[in-house]
Structure 1
Amino acid sequence: MNSHIKRLTSLAQYNIALTHLLAQCIKSGASLGFNTCNNTQPLSAYWEAVDMQLTSRMFLGYFCDNTLVGCVHYTRCLKPNGVHRAEVEKLLVHPQYQRQGIASALMQSLECEATKQGIELLILDTQTGDNSEKFYQTSNYIKCGEIPHFVRDSNGLFFSTSYYFKKLLSTS
């Protein structure tokens, strides 16, 4: 299998693949800001909005045999006192490709690119108790807090979200 990570500067040609990837991750139980994926229009609209904001974002796609099976992006802080930080968003790996090191490869590439761009601090959030917490902890992200009652699932149940950060090596 031929696999590689590619920086994407436009998402338009990948909208269908990204929408499918997001839908499959939601179906597998991931908390990604959407309660259901029965209607893919909001998922597609999400990627369209991300595409229009790529000037402040860095987006990586993971491809296996030219099929997009994973992605991650970060958004730089645009405030003058926060240009050294970025927020990691939507680390996704298709359920059929999980547990193969793809998430780790994406995060390592993201951190490398962030360092090259002078970003020294990455932050992220994830649903408390989700499997992703173990992944981020193993990847040396530090949990710095938890907000209760933060998200609601399709059944109306509330869940907390956990916040993580990682200081990157400075390039200066």
Structure 2
Amino acid sequence: MNITTPTTLSAAQYDGLAELLIDVINAGGSVGFFAPLQKETALEYWRQVKAEMESGLVLFIAEMDGVLVGSVQLAPSPKANGQHRAEVRKLITHTDYRGKGIASRLMQAVEDHALACGKTLLVLDTHLGRPAEAIYQHLGWTRVGVIPDYAAGTDGSLHATVVFYKQLA
């Protein structure tokens, strides 16, 4: 597996990221979109991510045998009093490649990069009761609490999110 932090995205990477997001959303993932996710919507999202990369967001992508199989984002705090912290966003792994350590490797890459950039505190949130919650706990993240009715599901019902943090130093 190869994990990179591209500063620009090729057409193939845009397509791979779009297909990854579509796979995750259409399999029930809760990362801001409703299923079925259309390719143009996914491509537009990744174009927005690319624009954020120009102002500090770091995108990590995982590839296996030429297939884009996972990604995660690190968003440094823009606040003067928050230069020591960053938010981890949208850890996603292709459903055909789950259980192979991709999420763990991506999170380790995030932590290593954050520490190298002087970040000592990371925060994230995830859908309550989903497998990601157990992954974060296994990786040493501390659960802060639950926010009820945080995001809507495709059926209109509201779901809770769990907030985590990890101190790196």
1:31 aligns with 30
Relative to structure 1, is the Cα distance of residues 19 and 167 closer, same or farther in structure 2, using a 3 angstrom cutoff?
same
Residue 159 of structure 1 and its aligned partner are, at CA, apart by 0.5
**Alignment partner, residue 7 of structure 2:** 9
Aligned length: 167
Q: With the length of structure 1 as denominator, give the TM-score of the two structures.
A: 0.93
Whole-angstrom CA distance in 1 between matches of 2:90 and 2:159: 18
Query: Is residue 122 from structure 1 mapped to residue 125 from structure 2 by the alignment?
Result: no
Moved more, 37-46 or 115-124: 37-46
**Rounded Cα–Cα distance in structure 1 between residues aligned with 2:37 and 2:60:** 26
| Alpha carbons 1:12, 1:48 under 8 Å: kept | no
Match in the other structure for 2:21: 22
What SS is found at the alignment partner of 2:100? coil
- Provide the alpha-carbon RMSD of the alignment: 1.1
Percent identical pairs in the alignment equals 34
Distance in 2 between residues matched to 1:42 and 1:17, nearest whole Å: 14
User: Given that residues 74 and 86 in structure 2 are in contact (C-alpha distance below 8 angstroms), is that contact kept between their aligned partners in structure 1?
Assistant: yes
Amino acid at match of 2:165: F
**Partner amino acid for 1:11?**
L
2:60 is matched with which residue? 60
Alignment-derived partner of residue 166 in structure 1: 166
Aligned-residue offset at 1:11: 2.7
CA contact (8 A) 1:126 1:161 kept: yes
Contact kept in structure 2, 1:120 and 1:167, CA below 8 Å: yes
Output the CA distance in 2 between the equivalents of 1:85 and 1:157.
Answer: 32
Secondary structure at the counterpart of residue 5 of structure 2: strand
Note if contact 1:128-1:160 (Cα within 8 Å) is conserved in structure 2. Answer: yes
Q: What do residues 92-111 of structure 1 show as CA deviations (whole Å, max 9, x unaligned)?
A: 11101000011101100110
* Alignment of 1:46 onto 2:45: yes
Letter in 1 for 2:160: S
What are the ranges of 5 or more consecutive residues in structure 2 without an aligned counterpart? none
**What's 2:150 paired with?**
150
Secondary structure, aligned partner of 2:45: helix
Supply the distance in 2 between the matched residues of 1:72 and 1:39 (Cα, whole angstroms): 20
